[in-house]
Amino acid sequence: MICVVVEHLRFLATLALQKSGVPQADAASQADLLIEAELRGVPSHGLLRLPRVIRRIENGVADPKSRGMHIWRRDAFLEVDGQCGLGPIVANAALDLLMERVVKTGVAVAAIRNSNHIGMLGWYAECVAARGYTIIALSTSEALVHPWGGRKAMLGTNPIAIGVPTGGHPFVMDAATSLVSMGEIHDHALRGVPIPPDWALDAAGNPTTDAAAAKTGSIAPFGKAKGYALGLGFELLVSSLAAAAIGREVTGTLDDTSVCNKGDLFIVVDGPVRDLQQYLQEIRMAAPAEGFAEVLVPGERGRLLREERLRNGVLLAEDLWEQIRELAATDDVPQN
């Protein structure tokens, strides 16, 4: 592992994207999203995705210049055809429109199809809640999760993020409806370490502790039947409203060559804002149970980690660092 100063990473990641034809401001946004994930300790959504973003642009399944087509189908319902644009570029353009509209309507929805990987949902929730709005963000993915009681993957990892203004730092929770991420399983496989028996099934649909076997199988939903019900609810909600692909038809967030056909959904509310800090402070100060050092408020460990890493730099695998440097290496000054 190598420790890299954040501003250096930001510069190189932005440059690498500009070299691929992404306009400077959009390149900075896409780089920010990946770096925010590194800062908050979510490397599965971090810079390891940068080479893929660039290969997808080279392969013509991601359009470096598109911001998507945003159409108000109703006063507060924004239909978004991402037109193969980069996930955060299309999403941020949608969120800007929603935040403008909710001042009049109180609530507005964006349903996004045909946009690339949106990355860490919590980032959007944090940005929107920091501006005083409440947000629910949903997204779907390739089928990686088996139904509770099933043998094969039929659902995406279908994360949800909720952002709420609190009077202090926004509250942000961000969690997939899978028990673990496929990234964690790949990480165990890479290190040759077995996975716990309840994490995943192999390709035949039998429980396995072999991480390599789980890679071609399916992940359990979190929270058994309830988490499955929730993940399925999100799958239906998002794919229906966004007119996006569903279940095993979804492609394009894990490969370099397929159009990305999953859906994203944002619900932004301009409602009463309230001071929630006392309640959150009571939770932080609550006596921890046996075996716990403290009671955590979701999102806050990531925020502390972020501050530490902004000061001290981000740890990256050396080969990833090498890749980023190569992707950014250039004799030309980018012309966009």
Q: How far apart are CA 191 and CA 173, in angstroms?
A: 29
* Residue among 14 and 157 whose Cβ is closer to a copy of itself: 157
* Residue among 5 and 276 whose Cβ is closer to a copy of itself: 276
Instruction: Tell me if 97 sits within 8 A of 70, measured CB to CB.
Output: yes
Q: Which two tokens stand for residue 203?
A: 């390709």
Could you tell me the smallest distance in angstroms from the CB atom of residue 202 to a copy of itself? 11
CA distances from 288 to 44, 294, 295, 322 (A): 29, 5, 6, 43
* Residue among 49 and 113 whose Cβ is closer to a copy of itself: 113
Q: Which two tokens stand for residue 51?
A: 């080479």
* Residue among 57 and 102 whose Cβ is closer to a copy of itself: 102
Q: Which two tokens stand for residue 226?
A: 């309830």
Could you tell me the smallest distance in angstroms from the CB atom of residue 216 to a copy of itself? 16
* Residue among 47 and 238 whose Cβ is closer to a copy of itself: 238
Pairing type for strands 77-85 and 107-115 reads parallel
Q: How far apart are CA 283 and CA 209, in angstroms?
A: 36
Could you tell me the smallest distance in angstroms from the CB atom of residue 69 to a copy of itself? 16
* Residue among 86 and 109 whose Cβ is closer to a copy of itself: 109
* Residue among 58 and 72 whose Cβ is closer to a copy of itself: 72
Could you tell me the smallest distance in angstroms from the CB atom of residue 259 to a copy of itself? 19
Q: How far apart are CA 110 and CA 96, in angstroms?
A: 11
Could you tell me the smallest distance in angstroms from the CB atom of residue 115 to a copy of itself? 17
Instruction: Tell me if 194 sits within 8 A of 154, measured CB to CB.
Output: no
CA distances from 90 to 62, 83, 104, 251 (A): 12, 9, 23, 18
Could you tell me the smallest distance in angstroms from the CB atom of residue 295 to a copy of itself? 4
Could you tell me the smallest distance in angstroms from the CB atom of residue 215 to a copy of itself? 18
* Residue among 20 and 140 whose Cβ is closer to a copy of itself: 140
Q: Which two tokens stand for residue 333?
A: 């000054």
Q: How far apart are CA 155 and CA 138, in angstroms?
A: 14
| Secondary structure letter of residue 101 according to DSSP | H
Hey, what long-range contacts does 202-209 have (CB within 8 A, 24 or more apart)?
204/151, 205/146, 205/150, 205/151, 205/152, 206/151
Instruction: Tell me if 225 sits within 8 A of 232, measured CB to CB.
Output: no
Q: Which two tokens stand for residue 38?
A: 């590194």
Could you tell me the smallest distance in angstroms from the CB atom of residue 332 to a copy of itself? 44
